[in-house]
Copies of this chain bind each other. A is one copy, B any other.
Amino acid sequence: MMQTPLTMTQMMKRAELYFPKKQVISRTASGIHRFTYKQIAERTKRLADSLTKLGIEKGDKVGTLAWNHHRHLEAYFAIPCMNAVLHTINIRLSPQHISYIINHAEDKVLLVDPDILPLLEKCGSELKTVKAFIVMTDDNELPETTLSPVYHYEKLLTEANPNYHFPENINENDPAGMCYTSATTGNPKGVIYTHRGIVLHSLALGLADGGGISERDIAMPVVPMFHVNAWGIPFAGVWFGSTLVLPGPYFTPKLLAELIETEKVTITAGVPTIWLGLLKELESGSWDMGSLRAVLCGGSAAPKGMIKTFEQKYNIPFKHAYGMTETSPLALISTLKSYQEELDPEEKLELRSKQGTLVPGLEMKIVGKDGEVAWDGKEMGELCLRGPWIASKYYKDERTLDAFHDGWLHTGDVVSIDEEGFVKIVDRTKDLIKSGGEWISSVDLENALMAHEAVFEAAVVAVPHDQWQERPFACVVLKETFKGKTTKGELLDFLKPQFAKWWIPDDILFLEEIPKTSVGKFLKRTLREQVQKEVHK
């Protein structure tokens, strides 16, 4: 067979050749913009030419601090296809962490949205390697800024060569992108994505049994393009010629519902918090969601009640998935097997609330105290993954050995696996509650609480206990209409028939909000501290 490398160059080229009329629908501060792939492909070449003129060479890192929009999409292709490295920066991190990762990655140029400039200015004098800032603004003039030198994205493109030629000698193992993931303690850790990894991951997203992304799709990644490449949807979408809908900055659930209805979105993706918001909107408005063939949900476990409402009340197919920065991210997806379609609705719901089965192309093992666990849906062990789109290390980071050893990624997620190979995340290794030598799953308790009609969100954490080492403690945010009405006792009584006696939380704390990480996951460490204070009052 020919030794043709698996590189991203073919992706935008295919959209340009085969789908020049198809559209990218992009929302920015000034409204909705529509570009054809013919236009996007040309703009991508112009951006690569501009970056070349600014001195970007093979292997150089170019950072982006941007929402989901067409200019960010252009960066997604221009940078890797010129054999440089697309470094998407999580703008929800602290200025200290942002400075750290820009310096650690040695970004040479930064592409930044105008509303994110103030955040970047806070990093200003800390940045050691950045030679140029490019502002991705809709305005004709650059905003005032203390950063320098600053360039205007559109003006650079106007002056650039529309016939720029991407290099043809890219090695498939060359870095194409990078992303930093928050660590429990210390600075964020970087992961490098190669061309080969991104191409293979995109194929998995296109498999009928994977994401099924195709030319027919109108795909709206709500998950930010600074989170694990918006789960790879922009790559697969462009390659396969899907229409892309990029919802831009500061969207509301109402705006998402509007985009789904008017653009006839067929597939969308985001974290559970987004879908909780959308459900609220669907309850209050009258929306047509009939175009949706899949709502992909990952990032943290989706409560069963939410899946049930999507599927049974609104008839919207819900696809639970699992991944992390280290896994590109798609690793598990909860597609039912053909013969499972005949199960009754509750059994199907049970399966759909699990994270799913392994995507073709990867390998998995689940390691408990005594080796690999049984496929019984009960035994718990740590999920380990291996495969061509799984990271092999953290970028220049001594913490690599925490997660990568014996040729496997040790995810830190505690899971069980049932007879059919459906994996269920039980907890983070660090978040399990150990009571009297036995494990209690905080996630199971959270899901049960969130299935109660009065509960908007719930998080369960461990508190130290003299006799039992640790005991579970629940933090609950009630829905507006239930505040001041629903009591702790009611919620605990609701849990009792569902769990062993010793699993029932010792107490419940009502909160206005659950503190969350920048990627929308519960910030259990902060929550534990908050609960500690409460217990010792």
Contacts and interface: CB of A to CB of B under 8 A. Distances in A.
A81 to B, nearest CB: 15
Nearest to A194: B1
A420 B240 CA distance: 15
A424 to B, nearest CB: 16
Contact of A208 (B212, B363, B409): B212
A392 interface: yes
Contacts of A2: 386-388, 390-392, 407, 409
B209 A386 contact: no
B337 A391 contact: no
A388 B200 CA distance: 12
Given A18-B358, A338-B215, A357-B18, A192 B1 contact: yes
For A213, A239, A337, which residue has the most chain B Cβ atoms within 10 angstroms? A337
Contacts of A17: 421
Contacts of A173: 1, 3
Contacts of A10: 360-361, 363
Interface residues of A, number: 54
A255 interface: no
Contacts of A338: 215-216
A386 B215 contact: no
A147 B506 CA distance: 79
Given A206-B207, A207-B208, A337-B215, A1 B240 contact: no
Interface of A is mostly: loop
Contacts of A239: 360
A1 B392 contact: yes
Interface in A153-174: 173
A388 B5 CA distance: 7
A503 interface: no
Nearest to A375: B17
A334 interface: no
Interface string A184-221: 00000000111011001001101111101111100000
A330 to B, nearest CB: 13
A19 interface: yes
A481 interface: no
A4 interface: yes
A423 to B, nearest CB: 11
B207 A1 contact: no
B1 A196 contact: yes
A196 B337 CA distance: 27
A247 interface: no
B197 A1 contact: yes
A389 interface: yes
Contacts of A207: 203, 206-208, 214, 240
Nearest to A193: B1
Interface string A333-371: 001011100000000000000000110110100000000
A214 B209 CA distance: 6
A6 interface: yes
A472 interface: no
A137 to B, nearest CB: 33
Contacts of A337: 19, 215, 241
A131 interface: no
A263 to B, nearest CB: 13
A14 interface: yes
Interface in A115-153: none
30 contacts: A1-B192, A1-B193, A1-B194, A1-B197, A1-B328, A1-B389, A1-B390, A2-B386, A2-B388, A2-B390, A2-B392, A2-B407, A3-B388, A4-B363, A4-B390, A6-B200, A10-B363, A18-B357, A18-B358, A19-B337, A203-B207, A206-B207, A206-B360, A207-B207, A208-B213, A209-B214, A209-B240, A215-B337, A239-B360, A240-B360
Interface of A: 1-4, 6, 10, 14, 17-19, 21, 173, 192-194, 196-197, 200, 203-204, 206-210, 212-216, 239-241, 328, 335, 337-339, 357-358, 360-361, 363, 386-392, 407, 409, 420-421
Given A2-B407, A4-B388, A207-B240, 8 more contacts: A1-B193, A2-B390, A3-B392, A4-B390, A18-B358, A206-B207, A208-B213, A208-B214
